[in-house]
Amino acid sequence: MSHLVAPSLLSANFLNLEKDILMLNQSEADWYHLDVMDGVFVPNISFGFPIIEKIRKATIKQLDIHLMIVDPERYLERFKKAGADIISIHMEACKNPIAALRTIRRLQAKAGIVINPATPVNILADVVYEVDMVLLMSVNPGFGGQSFIPHTIEKVITLKEMIESRNLNVMIEVDGGVDLQNAFTLVNSGVDVLVAGNTIFASADPKETIHQLKNIC
């Protein structure tokens, strides 16, 4: 399978969000990536349920929701109801990640687990059996526009070996500082899904930038 591109709506124009969504609908983007922040797990606040519900009505592709919130178990059903196709929760923010991941799958969404840059990949040794996707943060979560953390590449390689050694069908997603310079190395290291925010939305031609991200190999 060729890699996917998931533009992060955190970097879109909030005053004209529908225009940016319609552009993504017409682009080669595969998913829409939504970072949900609670101001507790990360020092920022972003999308709530009413906005997600409106976004879902305007979108035609998979809605990839990344929960940067404490105790995400409380809201899994509501996020699914709001339109999530994929729900990813942080290992660091969840009391019982395996139970939460099983709940996501029971709700008929794809289940993802996320780890921060300082969290080692080996913490996923048991959890990886319960997921459809692992999201590796390549910046410290909370704000867009940060620089890519280089040791993420090593984490991708280690994670890919873990997945393949267990003969699992688990995708690897990377979010944070992804651009046209590091995308090639990421994909060739084993990344299946590139999340890109500023690289796309700050571009003079976002659709062309998405095209380039899709055709880097």
Encode pLDDT of 88-136 as tens digits. 999 999 999 999 999 999 999 999 999 999 999 999 999 999 999 999 9
What b/e string do you get for 26-55 counting C-beta neighbours within 10 Å, with b at 16 or more? ebebbbbbbbbbbeebbeeebbeeebbebb
Residues serving a catalytic function are 35, 175
Query: How far apart, in Å, are the Cα atoms of 207 and each of 22, 28, 152, 163, 213?
Result: 11, 7, 26, 32, 10
As a whole number of angstroms, the distance between CA 197 and CA 111 comes to 22
Give residue 43's pLDDT.
87
pLDDT tens digit at each of 217 positions of the chain: 599 999 999 999 999 999 999 999 999 999 999 999 999 999 889 989 999 999 999 999 999 999 999 999 999 999 999 999 999 999 999 999 999 999 999 999 999 999 999 999 999 999 999 999 999 999 987 666 678 999 999 999 999 999 999 999 999 999 999 999 999 999 999 999 999 999 999 999 999 999 999 998 6
As a whole number of angstroms, the distance between CA 124 and CA 113 comes to 9
How is residue 9 written in tokens?
A: 């709506």
Domain range summary for the chain, segments of one domain joined by +: 4-214
How is residue 28 written in tokens?
A: 């080669």
Kindly tell me the burial class for residue 181, based on how many C-beta atoms sit within 10 Å of its own C-beta (0-12, 13-18, 19 or more): exposed
> Does CATH number 3.20.20.70 belong to domain 4-214?
yes
Strand partners, 104: none
Strand partners, 35: 66
Secondary structure of 21-80 in HEC code, one letter for each residue: HHHHHHCCCCEEEEEEEECCCCCCECCCHHHHHHHHHHCCCEEEEEEECCCHHHHHHHHH
User: Are residues 78 and 84 in contact, defined by beta-carbon separation less than 8 angstroms?
Assistant: no
Which residue carries 């873990």 as its tokens?
162
